[in-house]
Structure 1
């Protein structure tokens, strides 16, 4: 990650993940709210399960690619962790980044197991996601020794989003399907993604003057900038949630009255388990 591209890549991943999760959870919530008037046709349990499998497969693939890139890209350790000749550790930054990718890959693997078999409890996917976020924050927390003041500060601000995601995902273990928790996780994920881009522009500006990494005024500005990123994330998630909800209601209103009359309310006790 020691470059602009190295921060833009995970930033793009988290931005896409946050937007994808927002759309997915908004659709699931809208269909649950309107299930008595036929909205389950828009998102059946089978389609939800297929989307979960596809999503997990994509995350697993990119996690594997990320680990390979950290190990075998130019200047990578190529699986060498310790130099026995010089007696010191090698490429610890790359190894830490690869470990972050590893845990997200493990979370994706658990998600695949949960949604393709019956051997694991459903809540295990959220628990593993919480562990993946916690591990990311844990490694970043001890990733900043000896760096400049602004470098440390921008990464410390990133930790608020990461540990927040870990806490929210853990709460989802016990409150699955809670739209507030789901949208909060989406917001923090978008925030993490946009902030990775901001870190790239601060530490490795692709154009324009370089930042003074020891200027206190820059720290004050970047802290305020973090609040702007949070507002941006909240706006994106809110707009997408409202859009999906309106689209679902609009499609249901266009359902022919005769077809609506044939749709019987479903017994709440027979509802499929929330995915």
Structure 2
């Protein structure tokens, strides 16, 4: 089982990183499409370079704080019972492992960018990110907590979105100059963050479907019809969120093109228009 805060906190991190990734990819492409390269993280410009690595620090500190909450606070330091891992907190241990992978990703990226000890190419960093997402995927797919019914359906959609993050990260390593791949990566991360929030509001907040309720840490529905209605509602919510993100991407691209567009992008669009006409 989970909680509202347990879903809202990681949702906030994924949403912030995803939105920043989308905007950065759009700006970099519209500014100079010929030199565009996929980036697994994006520096913050200005401020004399003092905030350049802000994204990586947000991931590092956010995952570390959340990991401490899961490992130290949620378990009450009761790690072992009768010489084995405490079975009552296996989900907290699993969450901690997932968060550790994202902390390692941010730490490795910082070491690679700021020092000469681990000069990894961008493709390797993409695969490092894919590894962290893979750990998250395995956690939610083979969770020790039994997700059934409506709760299971919401987590199944989350697993699907995490899978998209894995594929886009791997594709970034294989297609290092592809703007669609970099954009898809940001979209997938953003949708994952939004769906964490959606799960929090539906299962642990005020948006519980009619006929279902949270009782003794379990989601129960009075009838199968109520559960099916809740699953159909989840499909509608996912469609609205995908549509909303795509509209936001189009709007942001239009704004960035009007502000940062250069002659290279205009010439590429003219050539494409000419090919379509012929």
CA contact (8 A) 1:67 1:98 kept: yes
Which residue number corresponds to residue 194 of structure 1? 194
CA contact (8 A) 2:78 2:86 kept: no
CA contact (8 A) 1:100 1:136 kept: yes
Cα shift at 1:235: 1.9
* Counterpart mapping for 1:46-85 below 5 A: 53-73=53-73, 76-84=74-82
1:78 and 1:192 map into 2 onto residues whose CA distance is: 29
2:249 and 2:211 map into 1 onto residues whose CA distance is: 31
Cα shift at 1:140: 0.4
SS of structure 1 residue aligned to 2:205: coil
Which residue number corresponds to residue 235 of structure 2? 223
Question: When the two structures are aligned, how many residues end up with a matched partner?
Answer: 242
Which residue number corresponds to residue 271 of structure 2? none
Which residue number corresponds to residue 121 of structure 1? 120
SS of structure 2 residue aligned to 1:176: coil
Q: What TM-score do the two structures reach when normalised by structure 1?
A: 0.77
Q: 1:235 to 1:101 in 2, by over 3 A?
A: same
* Counterpart mapping for 1:16-165 below 5 A: 16-33=16-33, 53-73=53-73, 76-84=74-82, 89-118=87-116, 119-122=118-121, 123-143=123-143, 145-165=145-165
CA contact (8 A) 1:202 1:211 kept: no
Q: 1:32 to 1:45 in 2, by over 3 A?
A: farther
SS of structure 2 residue aligned to 1:91: helix
Gaps of 5+ in 1: 36-42, 254-275
Gaps of 5+ in 2: 36-42, 213-219, 222-226, 264-278
CA deviation string 1:130-168 (max 9, x = no partner): 111111111001127533311000100111110111111
2:189 and 2:245 map into 1 onto residues whose CA distance is: 8
CA contact (8 A) 1:29 1:179 kept: yes
Cα shift at 1:44: 11
CA contact (8 A) 1:107 1:132 kept: yes
Which residue number corresponds to residue 3 of structure 1? 3
Which residue number corresponds to residue 265 of structure 1? none
SS of structure 1 residue aligned to 2:146: coil
CA deviation string 1:12-35 (max 9, x = no partner): 111111111111112222222387
SS of structure 2 residue aligned to 1:77: coil
2:144 and 2:128 map into 1 onto residues whose CA distance is: 25
Which residue number corresponds to residue 39 of structure 2? none
CA contact (8 A) 2:101 2:132 kept: yes
SS of structure 2 residue aligned to 1:228: helix
CA deviation string 1:70-127 (max 9, x = no partner): 1233xx1145433117985241111111111111111111211221234332122111
CA contact (8 A) 1:161 1:192 kept: yes
Q: 1:45 to 1:17 in 2, by over 3 A?
A: closer
Q: 1:161 to 1:51 in 2, by over 3 A?
A: farther
Cα shift at 1:236: 2.1
CA deviation string 1:189-231 (max 9, x = no partner): 1111111111112211247776624421211221232122211
Q: What TM-score do the two structures reach when normalised by structure 2?
A: 0.76
Q: Indicate the RMSD between aligned Cα atoms, in angstroms.
A: 3.0
Q: 1:88 to 1:154 in 2, by over 3 A?
A: same
1:211 and 1:143 map into 2 onto residues whose CA distance is: 26
Cα shift at 1:53: 2.7
Which residue number corresponds to residue 237 of structure 1? 249
